[in-house]
A and B are shown apart, each in its own frame.
Chain A
Amino acid sequence: MAPSAVPRAAANASQNDSDAAKIAVWKQALYERVMESGRNNDVFTQDDLIDLGVIPNGDKLLLIRVVQALSDDKLFVTFRDASNNILWKWRDAQEAHKYKQLDDEQAMVYSLIDDSGGDGIWSQTLQRRLNMHDSVLKTALKHLQTKGLIAPFKNVEHPNKKMYIKASIQPSDRATGGPWYTDQNLDEAFIEDLQRVVFDYVKNQSSYVSKHSGGRTQTPSKGVVKGNPDRGKKRDAREMNEPPAKAVKTSASSTPREAVLLPLPAGYTGYPTVRDIARLLSASGITNNTILSESDVKKLVDVLVWDNLLEPIRVAGKIGYRVARVSKQSTDVWAGREDPTGREGQPESYLSPYTEAPCGRCPVFDLCEEGGPVGPSNCEYFKKWLGMD
């Protein structure tokens, strides 16, 4: 039995050898077909694989052996879909090579990190998914890191979480926050400066600079009509004969002529659109190494609209933007001012009478009561406001 067993084993071995050789050929063929036919993320069912025509006669047993061999080489990834069908995906040979160097735990960790792609994965999630012991996970991660396969990084959405990402790929825009982030921090100075540039640009494009300010009185709105001390008294009847508009005009023209902004006629089509603004920003080169897409610029403009500085207007089938309260804005530029306190060039917004008086800004307004600890009879703020210090 023994002597006969040897040649049979040898035969078996030789058959195995030839089988292995054949399988290696089919393996290669199937892998190449799969690579050719599918894009990166395509998944294949058993039928799909047979339909490729690499396996002769649709031999399912053979297919299983070939696929098994591919999986062993980490060239195929096996997984199940929701209805429990087995599916396969191919993997790059280089990647597969990396897998081959790893032991089981490391491979598991690595595959999860691999799957998470550009968004990266949180170490806690790894642990929860793999149900590994903490120290095992740690050594695995350490090992992977020393091999240069993964890298720790910070995701702007979860700045406090320890995240890992494959070393070979760039973090996604969502993870870095797009152009608004520099080193995982929101670049507020950058955003603020860009907003000023955009505001100035839109202001220039949506207004008309008039050098002779005839139509506008230079008196401050504060306390002119409403708080006029003369209002209770009877005015001289002769005053009525003088056209007030004329009086205003002469006084305005006697003062040095100051440039004012005027609104453009209704239906003006030249209001800048998001695209125009994006073009300006890219042409001006202020965003030197960041590329702003149109949607990024849209975000920026949206914020200015929410700040009541710009307003959208429909022009010729698209949305243009113009400056709000055009006649009250100054002709100076807002961008590039060094002093943070100086309000020059800043957009003028509508002032509320409520917040101008002490009460609107009073920190103890809720407590204020006649007879209480603070009240009208001992109000410090009113004293200051009335100039009785």
Chain B
Amino acid sequence: MLVTKHAAELCALLVNDLYGELPSRILIALLTKGRSTILQLVQQTSLNPRHLRNGLGVLFHQNLLYARTEPGSKTTTYEANPDACYNLIRSGKILEVLEQRFGAAERDLVQTLMLLGHARIQDLGQAFSTRAPQANGETNGTQSMLIGSESRLRSVLARLLQAEIVEAVRADTFRNPAEVLDEYKQEMAKASPGDRISNKDKLANDEKAAERYIAFRDNGKAIKRQLDQTRGSYAKRRKLQNGHSTNGDHIDDDDAPHLNPNIIVRVNYEKCLVELRNHRLVAFASDSIGETTASVYRTVLDLTTAHMSRCRIDPLAAMKEPEPAPITVTTLDIFDHLDEAIDVSRGIGKVSGDKIDTFRIEKVKMEVPQSDDESEIESDDDGPVPNGRSNTRPRGNTDQHNDEDPFSESDNDTRTNGERSSRVTFDDSSTSRTRRIEQMRQHLLLLKDSKHRFIRHCGTQGRGQWTVDFRLLMARFRDAEMDAVIEQSFGRHGLRLTRILRERGKLDEKMLYSSALMKKGDVQGKMLAMQMAGLVDIQEVPRDTNRLANRTLFFWHFDGDKTQAQLLDDVYKAMLRCMQTLQVERHKERNILSFVERKDVQGKEEEVMTAEHYNKYNSHLEVQDRLLGQVMRLDDMVSVLRDF
């Protein structure tokens, strides 16, 4: 994989921050020079081989390297894995999301795995058994939250394995996937007879290679499949647990599966990214619609992505792996998994029933939309409409209900209150349930109706089926991120001009300022500034062969992909600068920091330090929080632009 200069520097800095200077130096050499043997590395880094091996060992243990030993020779080549290096920055976020989704024990295990890089299950057991008594003694009441026993560890691990958060490691996991695919291709080419290979054969060969590659890639999931068979699939268990929602967390302690203690496991970042993406999308939905709707969306996303291994199709396997069929969930499913604490009656305004076009909103779109154009708004595509009456009747009920109370604020208040009490007493639980389902459905419809089209209504079973078109949704999300950057760097007018160019394609200046309702001079100034920044560019089309300036048409155009790539690099650079600023700050305060690091000072800083130093230390912590927080937020952008 190619990385830009700033990305490479950022990776090196992260490794430096976490694992010290030696691995970082080796990593820089690997990133700049590409695949190298130990001898080459010795030359490039001027380190002695013993140090070098130590450094490589650290990198290798943290999965930051690709390594390959040619079968014939004894030499091993090493290659940096920039994606893995970058993922270091996300550790905290991943842990947070996992804790929300699975629980403290799972988070604890993943955190341990992150520290270790990869570990044998047996070793993990030992690591936790030494910690167990301490944990037991401290928090007796919450024992079930943490891993206290071998069987508990196994069940937690099995859960994570089944959720694909953790995967098994084999020797060839450390090979560069692109290389593996290439090798398969070469083998296929060798196997096919004749020196001239037709295009068709080549294609067939490539497909076979891709198939083998997929098999290679999914090898690590064998253990998951095995567990799925013996324990039932993860989704099923989840559902079961939800049935006993109060103590769902530790019902499976007793049936801890047997796991081969020699299996080596590590964190599967690809799946973690899927979880992070859900998190991010929920925040996005909350931003564009509202919080209650976003929490409904959270449930939809959790359900649709349970079996999704990665955010995007693996480009290497794209040949043999078609876009996976969208996973659909029904309204009832969503309702069953919806957190009881969410008050779905909130978050949507009220209008009288006759102002709602039930026919249109219930329209079902079976097909995955191919492209993301505005034409959808223009065209009256008459998708199949569900046999409307049966579907809209519950809506009619709520409308009627709405008509009864004149939607005054106080009324609304009492209504929600009354509903809450009814939920507690369960006197008319069935009606409150239908009403709650209907209210939740309103949020789903709102998500569907949004500009970003968060979900798609794709069927009528189970009170409506829903799915998420991630590829298109993420493209819209990326555009939104880009729009925000453009708006804040070039103002509303800059955003307006680029949006016009995106919608209409290449445009003459005259068209531009007449559509944007801006002065010619202002447009020229803005466009020039944006051209300098590389957002827009100009194309000359001569009207005749003379190529005179006044006989030439000048067209502005906007290159979204290029802008995104550039923005991504700029974000890397901004992250890098934040981290470097942090280092500068640490260097400035190095005396205080080294003092604080002493064992006898840790934990009682306030008593030991002078007031002046203590204040300085605190303000340094503030600065650090600020900078790291900013890095995390920038990482959110990187995820959206690059990974999701």
Q: Which residues of A contact B483 (CB under 8 A)?
A: 308, 350
Contact of B485 among A217, A326, A360 (CB under 8 A): A360
Q: Residue A354 contacts which of B445, B571, B584 (CB distance < 8 angstroms)?
A: B571
B475 within 8 Å of A by Cβ?
Answer: no
> Are A227 and B584 also in contact (CB < 8 A) when A306-B496, A313-B449, A365-B570 are?
no
Contact pattern, A 227-259, Cβ under 8 Å of B = 1, otherwise 0: 111011000011010010110000000000000
Q: Within the complex, which residue of B139, B287, B341, B499 is in contact with A306, where a contact is CB–CB below 8 Å?
A: B499
Is B290 a contact partner of A186 (Cβ separation < 8 A)? no
A contact residues around B445 at 8 Å (CB): 265-267
Contact with A along B536-562 (1 / 0, CB 8 A): 000000000000000000000000000
Interface string of A203-246 (1 = CB under 8 A from B): 00001101110111100010101111101100001101001011
Which of B357, B488, B567 lies in contact with A351, CB distance below 8 A?
Answer: B488
**A368: which B residues are within 8 A, CB to CB?**
573, 577
Pick from A186, A188, A232, A359 the residue with the most CB of B within 10 Å.
Answer: A359
Contact status A361-B92, CB under 8 Å: no
Structural contact, B409 and A211, CB atoms closer than 8 A: yes
Chain B residues near A353 (CB-CB < 8 A): 630, 633-634, 636-637
Count chain A residues whose beta carbon lies closer than 8 angstroms to a beta carbon of B: 80
B:63-104 near A, CB below 8 Å:
92-93, 96, 104
- Nearest A residue to B111 via CB reads A234
**Number of CB contacts from chain A to chain B under 8 A:** 226
Smallest beta-carbon distance B525→chain A, Å? 14
| A243-B341, A357-B578 known; A377+B347 contact, CB < 8 A | no
- Is B351 in contact with A265, judged by CB distance below 8 angstroms? yes
Q: Which residues of chain B have C-beta atoms less than 8 A from A382's C-beta?
A: 577, 581
Q: Does B346 contact A (CB under 8 A)?
A: yes
Asked if A325 and B351 make an inter-chain contact with CB atoms under 8 angstroms apart, the answer reads no
Q: Which of B287, B289, B347, B377 is in CB contact (< 8 Å) with A350?
A: B287
Evaluate contact between B484 and A215: CB separation under 8 angstroms. Answer: no
In contact, A377 and B584 (Cβ under 8 angstroms)? yes
Minimal beta-carbon separation of B369 from chain A (angstroms): 15
| Complex interface residues of chain A between 341 and 389 (CB less than 8 A to chain B) | 349-357, 359-361, 365, 368, 370, 375-377, 379, 382, 386, 388
Binds A, one of B40-48, B125-133, B202-210, B511-519: B511-519
Minimum Cβ distance to chain B for residue A345 (Å): 15
Residue contact B347 to A215, C-beta cutoff 8 Å: yes
User: A265–B349 contact, CB under 8 A?
Assistant: yes
Chain A residues with Cβ under 8 A from B360's Cβ?
267, 314-316
Q: Is the interface of B mostly helix, strand, loop or mixed?
A: helix
Q: Is the CB of B628 within 8 A of A227?
A: yes
Report B179-219 CB contacts with A as 1/0, cut-off 8 Å: 00000000000000000000000000000000000000000
* C-alpha gap A232/B585 in the complex (Å): 20
* B residues near A269, Cβ cutoff 8 Å: 355-357
Q: Is B270 an interface residue (CB 8 A)?
A: no
In the bound complex, CA of A267 to CA of B448 (Å): 10
Query: A350-B480, A354-B571, A376-B580 given as contacts; is B290 within 8 A of A267 (CB)?
Result: no
B323, CB-defined interface residue at 8 Å = no
| B-side contacts of A352, CB under 8 Å | 481, 484-485, 488, 637
Q: In the complex, what distance in Å separates the CA atom of A187 from the CA atom of B436?
A: 52
User: CB of A127 within 8 A of chain B?
Assistant: no
A299 surroundings in chain B (CB, below 8 A): 515, 517
- In the complex, what distance in Å separates the CA atom of A263 from the CA atom of B449? 11
A324, B623: Cβ atoms under 8 Å? no
Q: Is the CB of B516 within 8 A of A303?
A: yes
Is A312 part of the binding interface, using a Cβ–Cβ cutoff of 8 Å?
Answer: yes
Contact B289 A326 (CB under 8 A): yes
Q: Tell yes or no: B38 within 8 A of A by CB.
A: no
| B629, A223: Cβ atoms closer than 8 Å | yes
Q: Inside 8 A of A314's CB, which chain B residues have their CB?
A: 360, 377, 380
**8 Å CB interface, B562-613 against A:** 567, 570-571, 573-574, 577-578, 580-581, 583-585
The answer to whether A208 touches B351 (Cβ under 8 A) is: yes
Q: Which residues of B contact A191 (CB under 8 A)?
A: 517
Tell me, yes or no, whether A270 is within 8 Å of chain B by CB: yes
Specify the chain B residue showing the minimal Cβ separation from A303: B517
B574 engages A300 (CB within 8 Å):
no
**Interface-central residue, B341, B484, B629, by most chain A CB under 10 Å:** B629
Contact B517 A186 (CB under 8 A): yes
Indicate whether A237 sits within 8 Å of B145 (C-beta atoms), given known contacts A229-B625, A263-B348, A269-B357: yes
Q: Does A180 contact B (CB under 8 A)?
A: yes
Query: CB within 8 A of A267: which of B449, B489, B637?
Result: B449
Contacts of B255 in A (CB 8 A): none
Q: Are A267 and B361 in contact (CB under 8 A)?
A: yes
The answer to whether the Cβ of B228 comes within 8 Å of any Cβ in the partner chain is no
- Given known pairs A208-B351, A231-B92, A357-B574, the reply for A265 and B446 (CB within 8 Å) is yes
B291 & A215 in contact (Cβ 8 Å cutoff): yes
Known A191-B517, A306-B516, A313-B449; contact A354-B632, beta-carbon cutoff 8 A: no
The answer to whether A317 has its CB under 8 Å from any CB of chain B is yes
How long is the Cα–Cα vector from A314 to B380 in the complex, in angstroms?
A: 9
Does the CB pair A266–B574 fall under 8 Å? no
Q: How far is the CB of A320 from chain B (nearest CB, A)?
A: 10
Contact residues in A for B291 (Cβ distance below 8 Å):
215-217, 327
CB pair A245 B580 closer than 8 Å:
no
Quick one: given A238-B142, A246-B341, A269-B356, are A212 and B409 in contact (CB under 8 Å)? yes
List the A side residues contacting B145 at CB < 8 Å: 237, 240
List 29 contacting pairs A-B, 8 Å CB cutoff, sorted by A: A216-B291, A226-B93, A226-B632, A227-B633, A229-B625, A237-B145, A238-B142, A262-B290, A262-B349, A263-B349, A263-B446, A266-B445, A266-B449, A270-B355, A307-B499, A313-B377, A314-B360, A316-B360, A319-B378, A327-B291, A327-B347, A352-B637, A353-B637, A354-B634, A357-B578, A357-B630, A365-B573, A386-B623, A386-B627
Residues of A within 8 A of B (CB): 157, 180, 186, 188, 191, 207-208, 210-212, 214-217, 221, 223, 225-229, 231-232, 237-238, 240, 243, 245-246, 262-270, 299-300, 302-303, 306-308, 311-317, 319, 324-328, 349-357, 359-361, 365, 368, 370, 375-377, 379, 382, 386, 388
**Residues of B participating in the A interface, judged by any CB pair closer than 8 Å:** 92-93, 96, 104, 139, 142, 145, 283, 287-293, 341-343, 346-351, 355-358, 360-361, 374, 377-378, 380, 409, 413, 442, 445-446, 448-449, 451, 480-481, 483-485, 487-489, 492, 495-496, 499-500, 503, 510, 515-519, 567, 570-571, 573-574, 577-578, 580-581, 583-585, 621, 623, 625-630, 632-634, 636-637
Other than the given A207-B349, A269-B355, 10 more pairs (CB < 8 A) read A188-B519, A237-B104, A265-B350, A268-B357, A270-B355, A299-B517, A303-B516, A354-B570, A357-B630, A365-B570
